[in-house]
Structure 1
């Protein structure tokens, strides 16, 4: 994805307020060997880009006054109640250095899992994104969490997820839970009654 930006020379709260009134969003690009650069971006274009999942987990082509740099969106601030992006931070990436980034989890095959198909369990997503390490060129848009073998009462952990080549998960703690299959209380009672009736 390509992002167009322009160098920003005026600093301070007043200058930023004037930019926002003019439909611009202040931002900064940092990292690598070059000095940080203050930038401005078109607010509407940025606002709509932020709604796309891929914008948050992809290497972006940031064009500043005609020069293109590879960057990652690292942070952004939005207004408490207005549809207004206040600031955006981008980090330069080096093709030869690994990056740490969070990517979305896409859950598949829940409907065919034994948990749902046989026991009418509810699958709860404990995590919605996964922190990974990889080279910029190997960055996936998302990671698939396959629930096909999940049974009632079982959990899917980070170690159970098949990662793309060159990608490693950054695990905090011993065995992070990604999803869990829980049988609703009412369903459990109904199953117990059905068993009792058969006896």
Structure 2
């Protein structure tokens, strides 16, 4: 079952960069909520409680209850703009969620049991997490805050693919509908010496390991 979290908001009447700067100086975050059968609405939120909420994983992957004077709208966070160096949220975008409509969003993966697995106990084995989240489709009521990946039986030479994930009822991974080539690796357990040799070869050739592509951009 999806877990919801209430976030208090206020309607925002003033628009423009000047109005947004005044809001930020007053400890508020300018934001917008859109989607569904309603028009987009400009809103504002208190920065401190939202900043604290943003330190939690659920803020990015769970359905949120936006409370505007007691009127509750269910939404997902779709975009967050941060200050380049200050601990300051500059703007938020929320998308309304309809209970009867399938939604698509990224859900974090939680890896459990790795330290107890044959691969995790072996000093010479390197366990690589190729993905930290996965895009799913489901009804709002079925949206999980995370998906557990049990690695208790992981052994050397084992690869856990998307199709191996145990999904909650009503949850699907749309990527798997595109064919076997989209059944990508989630976790790989290989011998440390092999990993080191492949890395050295890639450095010599100037190539970047496939598992590393895009990872630097995410940092």
TM-score by length of 1: 0.89
Would you say 1:165 and 2:173 are equivalent positions? Answer: no
Would you say 1:131 and 2:162 are equivalent positions? Answer: no
- After alignment, is 87-96 or 56-65 more displaced? 56-65
In the comparison of the two structures, how many residue pairs are matched? 189
Q: Is the 8 A contact 1:119 1:152 kept in 2?
A: no
In structure 2, distance between residues paired with 1:161 and 1:15: 47
Q: 1:89 aligns with which of 75, 87, 93?
A: 93
Q: 1:182 aligns with which of 179, 186, 190?
A: 190
Structure 1 position 184, deviation (Å):
1.7
Residue 24 of structure 1 is matched in structure 2 by: 28
Q: Is the 8 A contact 2:124 2:193 kept in 1?
A: no
Unaligned runs of 5+ residues in structure 2 are: 198-219
Residue 118 of structure 2 is matched in structure 1 by: 114
- Give the alignment's Cα RMSD to 1 decimal: 1.9
Corresponding residue SS for 1:56: helix
Unaligned runs of 5+ residues in structure 1 are: 190-199
Corresponding residue SS for 1:103: strand
Would you say 1:34 and 2:38 are equivalent positions? Answer: yes
Corresponding residue SS for 1:27: strand
Q: 1:148 aligns with which of 152, 155, 167?
A: 152
Classify 1:187/1:75 alpha carbon distance in 2 versus 1 (closer, same or farther; 3 Å). Answer: closer
- After alignment, is 127-136 or 50-59 more displaced? 50-59
Would you say 1:13 and 2:17 are equivalent positions? Answer: yes
In structure 2, distance between residues paired with 1:72 and 1:124: 30
Q: Is the 8 A contact 1:79 1:85 kept in 2?
A: yes
Corresponding residue SS for 2:114: coil
Which runs of structure 2 are paired with 1:39-54 in the superposition (5 Å)?
Answer: 39-54=43-58
Q: Is the 8 A contact 1:7 1:65 kept in 2?
A: no
In structure 1, distance between residues paired with 2:74 and 2:196: 53
Structure 1 position 147, deviation (Å):
1.3
Residue 99 of structure 1 is matched in structure 2 by: 103
Structure number with bigger Rg: 1
Deviations 1:52-97 (A, max 9, x none): 1112111111012331111111111101100000001111101111
Classify 1:74/1:188 alpha carbon distance in 2 versus 1 (closer, same or farther; 3 Å). Answer: closer
Structure 1 position 188, deviation (Å):
9.3
Residue 197 of structure 1 is matched in structure 2 by: none
Corresponding residue SS for 1:44: helix
Larger relative helix fraction: 2
Q: Is the 8 A contact 1:119 1:183 kept in 2?
A: no
